[in-house]
Chain A
Amino acid sequence: MSIAIPSFKVETGTRASSFSALIGAAVLVLAVAVPFLVPRGAVQDLFFILTMLVLAQSWNLLAGYAGLISVGQQVFVGFGAYTMFGAVILFGIDPIVATLIAGLFAALLAVPTALFTFRLYGPYFAIGTWVVAEVVRLLLAQWKALGGGTGTSLPREATRDMAGVGLLRDHFGMKAAEASDALTYWLALVLAAATIGLIYRLLRSKQGLGLAAVRDNEQAARAVGVDARRMKALVYLTTAFLTGLAGALIYVQKARISPDAAFSVTDWTAYVIFIVVIGGIGTIEGPIVGVILFFLLQNLLSDYGSWYLLMLGLVGILIMLFAPRGLWGAFSDRTGIQLFPVRRMLVGDPLAHTPKGGPHG
């Protein structure tokens, strides 16, 4: 039955993808130089875009690939941020080291929350994740050492003496505030690039193939030997880690925390879902497109008060009606362009040089 197959190969790359790798490298180089080129306000805007991109890529991996529609990812933003604050204020740890610790703690928190929420399916899972987020918010609001319900600020010295700030001050003549903005921006850039790289690598691996199978049909995936539960748990832990890192980093830059802000379902989940859905769920390009559009909308409409939210809703509805796979999805369907291709293409003719009569039907 099995035929010796000499002349075929399996490819995932496309011409567009090698082009996009070049563009990506160029953008990255330019992005590294940004703090030396543009005013501080623009660096802060880019920091916001990059951290939202990390949150969006994480949620996209969770919902778009593992099928885990969570509306409680703010729990990892808030818990990561509070862990960072706790480590800095109570133990005097450098904020950057504290950010790494925060990522690990967020992943640790994901273990008990997974035990609870993984018993639920579909909409029940979504509600469950939200409940968990509220519970953690209420618990942390009791923590008097970190300001209880009203919150607290990072000590000024903490961000001023952050590792690397002194270096930037001495060598590039930056002011302390400028230097700490530049530093958090670079960390956000590294985190965003690493997140995209990690997700792309995962999707191209055997595990990524299994994940796609689980997303398409869980019952069939189990029947061909894919451990769907383990796969989902792995994704849940990974996104908790990334979301926790992003949350802590956001609050290093904000330097002021309160439970309501850090566990805000609007800021850290609703906006993130908006970004992923308008950009195109289930693609790596989608959240990138979505976060740029979101930023533009936010800036265009910020003067209109609550009209802003109404407009966001309207844009969301229009895109869902006319481009249900998001802007990138619609573009990609039309042009066939993929910047991050994951499809395994069978190229060449496996039957070449084999005796006739192999295939049936």
Chain B
Amino acid sequence: MSLLQLECVSKRFGALTVADEISFSVGEGEALGIIGPNGAGKSTLFNLITGNIAADTGTIRFGGADLTRVPPMARCLSGMGRTFQIPQPFEKLTVFENVLVAGSFGAQRSESGAYVRCAGILADTGLLDKANVPAGGLTLLQRKRLELARALATEPRLLLLDEIAGGLTEAECHALVATIRAIHAKGVAVIWIEHVLHALTSIVERLLVLNFGRVIGMGAPADIMASRAVREIYLGIEV
């Protein structure tokens, strides 16, 4: 059975169609990559899935329940964890407190019941030495890690990652991929928007290609990257 299922989901902003009858599904524990040129509607698709933007038409089902009209908070509680493309830390709270908010509210635990898990997540995401620093003082890289840490702390069944590998060095990217692989190996389904293709393809089993709000291809990474349409539109190569 599929964990997440979108059926003909559309969204228009005035004359601009940002999501055009998007249908796809992600199975329990699966990893799906989303690629597409800038402005293709990738982040919008995430916002539709997490409820930050309401769909005009179509249905979004998650874990068998219809969540199309459910607000973001409830979607988080039902098991969706997300990162924002532009990191959104709680700036005056410390890094540990940032993760603790997600670990206690998102995972529906008591505050002290979330301490151990949250400290563990800080260790896993390499933020432990920054635990008591206000999140407003973090660098971009650290902010991106914090996004991941916070999403993990909600104990998601589906993790939505929005361009978290961008701007990292080779070594940092390697470490990040290892972290995400470990999360995925524990049975968490992942949907990952990324421009850093080698990072993406080392994890995901399938790729979905978006262009102008429309799904123009979906399949195994090798097939997708070989397809003519994708090479023309996404890579900008004349074939």
A, B assembled together: yes
Which residues of A does B touch, CB under 8 Å?
Answer: 1-3, 5, 8, 10, 205-206, 209-210, 212-213, 215-217, 219-228, 282, 343-346, 350-351, 358-361
Chain B hits for A346, CB < 8 A = 96, 119, 122, 131-132
Residue of A nearest to B87 (CB): A220
Instruction: Assess the A205–B111 pair: CB atoms within 8 A.
Output: yes
Which secondary structure characterizes the binding site on chain B? helix
Q: How far is the CA of A213 from the CA of B102 in the complex (A)?
A: 10
Chain B hits for A222, CB < 8 A = 71-73, 76
Residue of B nearest to A226 (CB): B105
Chain A hits for B120, CB < 8 A = 1-3, 5, 350
B contacts with A, residue count (CB < 8 A): 58
Chain B hits for A221, CB < 8 A = 90, 101
Q: Given A215, A358, A361, which contacts B175 in the complex, CB threshold below 8 Å?
A: A361
| Total CB contacts across the A-B interface at under 8 A | 145
Closest 5 CB pairs of A and B: A361-B126, A225-B106, A216-B90, A224-B102, A220-B88
Instruction: Assess the A224–B92 pair: CB atoms within 8 A.
Output: no
CB within 8 Å for A220 and B128 given contacts A5-B119, A350-B120: no
Q: How far is the CA of A228 from the CA of B102 in the complex (A)?
A: 13
Q: Given A205, A210, A227, A361, which contacts B172 in the complex, CB threshold below 8 Å?
A: A361
Given contacts A1-B182, A212-B97, A350-B122, 13 further A-B contacts (CB under 8 A): A5-B116, A5-B120, A206-B110, A209-B101, A209-B104, A213-B98, A222-B71, A225-B154, A226-B101, A343-B97, A344-B97, A358-B124, A360-B178
Residue of A nearest to B73 (CB): A222
Residue of B nearest to A348 (CB): B119
Q: Given A2, A10, A210, A359, which contacts B117 in the complex, CB threshold below 8 Å?
A: A2
Chain B hits for A361, CB < 8 A = 125-126, 145, 172, 175-176, 179
Q: How far is the CA of A346 from the CA of B125 in the complex (A)?
A: 16
Q: Given A1, A225, A360, which contacts B105 in the complex, CB threshold below 8 Å?
A: A225
Chain B hits for A205, CB < 8 A = 111
Instruction: Give me 29 A-to-B residue pairs in the complex whose CB atoms sit less than 8 angstroms apart, sorted by A's number.
Output: A1-B183, A3-B120, A3-B124, A5-B116, A5-B123, A206-B104, A206-B105, A210-B104, A216-B90, A219-B52, A220-B150, A222-B71, A222-B73, A222-B76, A223-B88, A225-B154, A227-B105, A282-B92, A343-B94, A345-B94, A345-B132, A346-B122, A350-B122, A350-B123, A359-B125, A359-B126, A360-B175, A360-B178, A361-B172
Residue of B nearest to A227 (CB): B73
Q: Given A3, A8, A225, A345, which contacts B77 in the complex, CB threshold below 8 Å?
A: A225
Instruction: Assess the A209–B89 pair: CB atoms within 8 A.
Output: no
Chain B hits for A5, CB < 8 A = 116, 119-120, 123
In the complex, whether B40 has a CB less than 8 A from a CB of chain A is no
Chain A hits for B104, CB < 8 A = 206, 209-210
In the complex, whether B7 has a CB less than 8 A from a CB of chain A is no
Q: Given B91, B115, B172, B176, which contacts A216 in the complex, CB threshold below 8 Å?
A: B91
Instruction: Assess the B89–A217 pair: CB atoms within 8 A.
Output: yes
Q: How far is the CA of A80 from the CA of B52 in the complex (A)?
A: 40
In the complex, whether B206 has a CB less than 8 A from a CB of chain A is no
Most buried by A among B104, B151, B176: B104
Chain B hits for A217, CB < 8 A = 88-91
In the complex, whether B82 has a CB less than 8 A from a CB of chain A is yes
